[in-house]
Amino acid sequence: MIREKLFNLLFLIILVVPSLSLAQEATDATTWFQQAQEARQSERFDDAHKALDKAAALGFAPLRVSFERARVHTLADEPSRAVAELRSIADAGFTAVGFVVNDAILSTLAGNEGYDSIVAEMSAKAYPCQNDEAFRAFDFWLGEWVVELADGTVAGSNTIAAHERGCVLVERWSSAGGGTGMSINYLDKATDEWVQIWNAEGGSQIHIRGGMTDKGMLLVGTLHTVGNGTTVPFRGLWTPLEDGRVRQFFEQSLDDGATWSPWFEGFYKRKE
C-alpha cells in the first residue's frame, strides 16, 4: 500500500511538472530556451526566467531571449518590465515592428504608453517613407480620376495609388479609345528628386525627374518612342487647382530644348 502511494505521488509530480526534470538535465542553450517556453505556457513564470538565464549564459540568441522575457512579464501582469525588455530590443536597433504588433501576447500591451511609444518609434524606422513628409509631396495626385481635355471631352480615366507603405505611387491609365499605360513615381532620396518612369502599350517610354515648384510638380527628362526609335526632351507639370482638380501638362521639344510644344493637357476630376 505504501509503495503504491509513493508510486502515485511520484507519477503525479512528473505529470504536473514534466518540464522541470527535463530542465535539470538540459545541457545546451536551445533546450533551456524550449524549457523556458514550456514553463511560460504552464504559467510557471519564475522557472521560465531561470531557464532563460541559463539559455542566455550558454549563448542563445539575445534577441529571442529578450522577446521571450517580454512575453513572460506580460503574462505575469508585469507590463513595466515587459516594456523595459521591448525598449532594450528597440535600443539595440531592431526595427521589424511586425514581430511586436503581431505577437499574440505582446500585442495585448497596446494602450500602454510605453509600448505605444516603442511601436511608433520602431514603425518610423521600419517604414521610413510612410513617416517622412518629403514622400507626401505628390499625394495631391492620389485617387481615382476622370481625365478631361480643356474643352471637357473625356480623355480617359486614371488611378494613382500609394504602394510599399508610401515609397512609390503607381499610376494606371486607360484612355477613352482603349489604350493603356502605367507609371511608377517615387522620391529618389539619393538626390531628393521625384522620378517618373512611364510605359504604355503603344511604346511610349518616359523618364523624367525633378520636384515641387511654385507651379506644381515639375519633372524633366526624355520621351522615347519605341516604334520609330526617337528620343526627345520631355517635361511634365502637375498643378493642383483651387477647385480640387489637377492639371497635367506634358510638353516635348523637337530642337533639343530650344522650343517646346504641347504633348498632352488633361484636367483630373475626382470620380464620385
What would the pLDDT profile of 207-261 be if each residue is shown by its tens digit? 999 999 999 999 999 999 999 999 999 999 999 999 999 999 999 999 999 999 9
Can you name the CATH fold of 2-126?
1.25.40
Domain extent listing, the chain = 2-126, 134-270
**Rounded Cα–Cα distance for residues 82 and 73 (Å):** 5
% of residues, the chain, pLDDT over 90: 89
Q: Evaluate if residue 22 carries a pLDDT over 90.
A: no
pTM of the model: 0.76
- Which residues lie below 8 Å from residue 220, measured CB to CB, with a gap of 6+? 208, 209, 210, 233, 234, 235
* Candidates 3.40.1010.10, 2.40.128.20, 1.10.3720.10, 2.60.120.890; CATH matching 134-270: 2.40.128.20
The pLDDT of residue 26: 62
- R_g of the chain computed on alpha carbons: 30
Of 189, 232, 194, which Cα lies nearest the Cα of 212?
194
Does residue 85 contact residue 69 with C-beta atoms inside 8 Å? yes
What would the pLDDT profile of 75-112 be if each residue is shown by its tens digit? 999 999 999 999 999 999 999 999 999 999 999 999 99
Q: What is the dihedral of CA 143, 222, 266, 226, to 10 degrees?
A: -90
What band does 27 get if pLDDT is binned at 50, 70 and 90?
A: confident
Look up residue 28 and give its three cell numbers: 545546451
Q: Output b/e per residue, 109-127; b: 16+ Cβ within 10 A.
A: beebeebeebbeebbeebb
